[in-house]
């Protein structure tokens, strides 16, 4: 089935389990003594590679009745793996595990696919070297990574200026086996799932926010408790369907059990600024994470928007689909400060710009700012999408078919397995 300008999006939609939380649930449950149970785990390739990694490092993980049962090892007790650990395309998996391994006295080789082998690691490894870990990178920057962890890691204070939850979480995972106080100052807010899950597991963590920075203090004098955890729906996956419903007057979509963490819903606020009719209902807190249902009932065209750079980290994964939305809004939209997009699975900034031009949308890049000159007219479409096998580019420009006279040509349907294996199945279900 192909989307086209005649389709509307409707029905009750359940997003797949959140990818960021799925990674962390596997890792942290593997550091708790006792039986943990994880439901609604995202079974995408990235998360499965993290699962395989934790097994190689000694965790006992089995699937029973749709749930993952985990018997973990205490911090500092990771086992020497018998083979190289392959993370495929997962930047999150490899960076988080580098943090965990760094404070364990084991030697590990970590590799990835062609795309991952071009993604920078020093933003993480430079911090981890300070605690005593010996780390070697290809060309001093990229995977493969050889790491010799240290069993007596040095407690340090960190200032994080790059807005990256992966950097922060890697440091926090290393702190699980560091004697003494570890303190992190984060100057731009990023995803706080690691903090929330540590709280849910009874760990000694204190988080305070000021106008200037977010302060995280950790002291490892208390074990992690095992947990029963239901992974909420992934907002970054839901964004494709929510935006699709916003593009098509007449669409009515109910979204159930979606993660509504304030660091992850920037795209909802942006769409509402653009005139989308999105109502948030049944908001509740489960295991320190906010979950909500949404009602999307779009009746008119979207308006252009200016997205300031400070808000980009709160919707970094949604920029591709928001760019499609902006192309159908009457006027100029500007997304500012998109440098972080250049070091994702691809240079997403360049690919968004190129593909918008190819499907008939005027677009410019100025100093990492993306300018999109949209209008409410259907685009010519029919573009051969340049995707570099990047799952979010593939999905965004597939949704773009809703506003195109001719379907864009996308020769990749497999990359969605990274984060959203059921994407095309859900399209068939909710497109009418």
- Within 103-159, residue ranges assigned H as helices are 122-129
Q: Over 90: is that where the pLDDT of 416 sits?
A: yes
Is 107 in a helix, a strand, or coil? Answer: strand
d(CA 268, CA 222): 37
The per-residue pLDDT for 2 is 84
All domains of the chain in start order, with CATH: 10-16+232-430 (3.65.10.10), 19-221 (3.65.10.10)
Q: Which residues pair with 252 in a beta bridge?
A: 10, 297
Confidence of residue 222 (pLDDT cuts 50, 70, 90): confident
Cα separation of the two ends of the chain: 11
Contact 305, 331 (CB under 8 A): no
Cα 159 off chain centre by: 22
Closest-CA residue to 314 (of 190, 187, 195, 209): 190
Report the 10 Å Cβ neighbour count for 309.
16
Sorted by sequence, the CB contacts under 8 Å of residue 217 that are 6+ apart come out as: 181, 182, 183, 184, 205, 206, 207
Q: Which ranges constitute the DSSP H helices of 201-328?
A: 235-247, 266-273, 319-327
Q: pLDDT of 294-327, one tens digit each?
A: 999 988 899 999 999 999 999 999 999 999 999 9
Give the β-pairing of 142-148 and 134-138.
Answer: antiparallel
Overall average pLDDT of the 75-99 stretch: 96
Q: What is the pLDDT of residues 326-349, one digit of tens each?
A: 999 999 999 999 999 999 999 999
Contact assessment for residue 372 and residue 326, using Cβ atoms and an 8 Å cutoff: yes
pLDDT, position 1: 67
- In angstroms, how far is CA 228 from the centroid of its own chain? 22
Sequence length of the chain is: 432
Peptide bond into 144 cis (omega under 30): yes
What residues have CB less than 8 Å from 367, skipping those under 6 apart? none
CB atoms within 10 A of CB 285: 10
Which residues have a catalytic role annotated? Answer: 317
pLDDT at 220: 85
Q: Are 322 and 270 in contact (CB under 8 A)?
A: yes
Q: Quote the tokens at residue 55.
A: 């097994």
* pLDDT tens for each residue of 1-34: 689 999 999 999 999 999 999 999 999 999 999 9
- What is the structure's pLDDT at 253? 98
The answer to whether the CB of 230 falls within 8 A of the CB of 18 is: no
Closest CA to 8 of 323, 319, 224, 247: 247
Instruction: Summarize the confidence of residues 164-193 as an average pLDDT.
Output: 95
């Amino acid at each position: 089935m192909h989307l086209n300008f005649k389709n509307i999006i409707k029905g009750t939609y359940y997003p797949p389990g959140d990818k960021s939380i799925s990674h962390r649930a596997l890792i942290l449950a593997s550091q708790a003594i006792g039986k943990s149970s994880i439901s609604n785990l995202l079974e995408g390739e990235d998360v499965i590679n993290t699962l395989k990694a934790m097994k190689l490092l000694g965790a006992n993980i089995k699937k029973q009745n749709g749930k993952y049962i985990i018997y973990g090892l205490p911090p500092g007790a990771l086992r020497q793996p018998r083979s190289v650990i392959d993370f495929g395309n997962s930047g999150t998996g490899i960076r988080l595990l580098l943090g965990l391994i760094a404070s364990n006295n084991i030697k590990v080789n970590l590799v990835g696919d062609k795309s991952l082998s071009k993604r920078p690691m020093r933003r993480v490894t430079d911090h981890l070297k300070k605690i005593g870990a010996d780390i070697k990178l290809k060309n001093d920057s990229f995977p493969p990574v050889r790491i010799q962890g240290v069993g007596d890691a040095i407690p340090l204070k960190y200032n994080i200026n790059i807005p990256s939850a992966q950097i922060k979480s890697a440091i926090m995972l290393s702190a699980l086996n560091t004697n003494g106080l570890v303190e992190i100052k984060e100057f731009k807010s990023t995803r706080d799932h690691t903090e929330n899950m540590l709280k849910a597991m009874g760990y000694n963590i204190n988080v305070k926010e000021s106008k200037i920075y977010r302060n995280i203090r950790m002291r490892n004098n208390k074990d992690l408790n095992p947990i029963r955890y239901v992974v909420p729906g992934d907002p970054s996956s839901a964004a494709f369907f929510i935006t699709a419903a916003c593009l098509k007057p007449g669409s009515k979509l109910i979204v159930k059990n979606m993660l509504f963490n304030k660091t992850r819903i920037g795209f909802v606020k942006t769409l509402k600024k653009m005139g989308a009719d999105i109502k948030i209902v049944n908001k509740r807190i489960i295991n320190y994470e906010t979950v909500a249902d949404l009602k999307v009932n779009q009746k008119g065209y979207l308006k252009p928007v200016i997205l300031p750079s400070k808000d980009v980290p709160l919707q970094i994964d949604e920029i591709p689909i928001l760019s499609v939305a902006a192309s159908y809004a009457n006027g100029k939209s500007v997304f500012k400060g998109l440098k972080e997009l250049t070091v994702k699975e691809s240079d997403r900034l360049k690919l968004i710009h190129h593909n918008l031009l190819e499907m008939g949308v005027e677009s410019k890049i100025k100093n990492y700012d993306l300018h999109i000159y949209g209008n409410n007219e259907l685009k010519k479409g029919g573009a051969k999408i340049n995707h570099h096998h990047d799952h979010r580019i593939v999905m965004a420009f597939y949704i773009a078919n809703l506003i195109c006279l001719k379907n864009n040509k996308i020769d990749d349907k497999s990359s969605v397995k990274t984060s959203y294996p059921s994407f095309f199945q859900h399209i068939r279900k909710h497109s009418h």
